[in-house]
Chain A
């Protein structure tokens, strides 16, 4: 599975990446902001969940921080 930032969401579509989590982060911080271990951990969990859930190619899921 892959993690892309929102600014490059279109690149994931162009490349037809099989499984993608799209994060609302700045370039260079794909997994999360500096020092924000909780957010980074949530993104990693979301990517692993997508690996388990995806049933078809080009499955793109926008990351949403847990409430």
Chain B
């Protein structure tokens, strides 16, 4: 919504303003955490971010703005109490042998796929469109994108209703570091599988755990994958 479009709308409270960052009129996956704050916390955060942005305009240095955004994001998502485990086991497979002898697969929850091979079909939603489909994503079953090991970074893209995937579109290595793993394979540090994977982590967690992920694990085991490098987003 542009400022001009907003001119004809009725006045809003500050609460409505910061809540609107969470899938509202001002949906913004970078700053949706503002909706988790009290009015005072959100006001202080917006003011501090603007102050750091103003400084950055003078200095060209974004480190302080980035640090503040990081610290406020961590505070906003922190649970009020120490977290209790949600699962009853912690499976652990000790590493057997040298890393360089194991077949390693990259698995990202960042919604990455090969351009032109959209897991939601040729008319799959854009990043902007998928924000309006967050409920459908959270109810649905995730689809696994299969990405050949030699896929150039500029052939990869991403879409995700839970974070701003335009960041990954700018640099896919932020959530899918296949290019770095290829470099490490060239250096003899790792051995890569011929296929790597991604899915959209904003999905039905029950389906993921009970149905989808076990099927994916079977697929990877059949391709002789020994270890997985998992990236959460």
Contacts and interface: CB of A to CB of B under 8 A. Distances in A.
Interface in B216-233: 227-233
B177 A28 contact: no
Interface in A37-57: 37, 40-41, 43-45, 47-48, 51-52, 54-57
Contact of B171 (A35, A55, A58): A35
A3 B231 contact: yes
Interface in B147-198: 163-165, 167-168, 170-171, 173-177, 180-181, 183-184, 189-190
Interface residues of B, number: 51
B27 to A, nearest CB: 14
A44 B181 contact: yes
Interface string B61-101: 00000100110011011110001111101111111000100
Given A27-B73, A30-B233, A35-B171, A44 B30 contact: no
B11 to A, nearest CB: 31
B35 interface: no
B174 A18 contact: no
Contacts of B30: 26-28
Contact of A28 (B92, B165, B189): B165
A26 B173 contact: no
B167 A29 contact: yes
Top 9 nearest A-B pairs by Cβ distance?
A57-B90, A57-B92, A16-B90, A28-B163, A2-B230, A7-B77, A34-B171, A10-B83, A28-B167
Interface of A: 1-8, 10-18, 24-35, 37, 40-41, 43-45, 47-48, 51-52, 54-58
